[in-house]
Amino acid sequence: MLDEDFWPKGHAYKDPTALYYALSTIAQCVAALAALMGFLGLCRLDRLRLEREQAIQLMYRQRNISGQITGALIGLEVVRRSEG
């Protein structure tokens, strides 16, 4: 255990709640960091989705396909229309 003569009176190691507050603060910082990483990841995914839609619309314009088509199978639609 701790040597009673080593630590000065009133030191943080003598306070039973100091460790709890320190660990609680560390946990809150980790949770905030995880939330920030999740937010940045979602922003990146949204930007990639927008870039994909722009690229598909550019392909439509280059192939003179009229109308704005969106959806999960849009790549297959572009291939089908370009072959036909």
Contacts of 82 (CB under 8 A, 6+ apart): 63
Q: How far is CA 28 from CA 31, 32, 33, 35, in A?
A: 5, 6, 9, 11
In a domain, 6, yes or no: no
In a domain, 2, yes or no: no
- pLDDT tens, the chain, 84 aa long: 455 566 666 565 666 787 788 888 999 999 999 999 999 999 999 999 999 988 888 887 777 655 555 555 566 666 676 665
Number of domains in the chain: 1
DSSP 3-state percent helix, strand, coil across the chain (nearest 5): 70, 0, 30
Q: What is the pTM of this model?
A: 0.52
**Structural domain that includes position 74:** 12-83
**Distance (Å, rounded) from C-alpha 7 to C-alpha 13?**
8
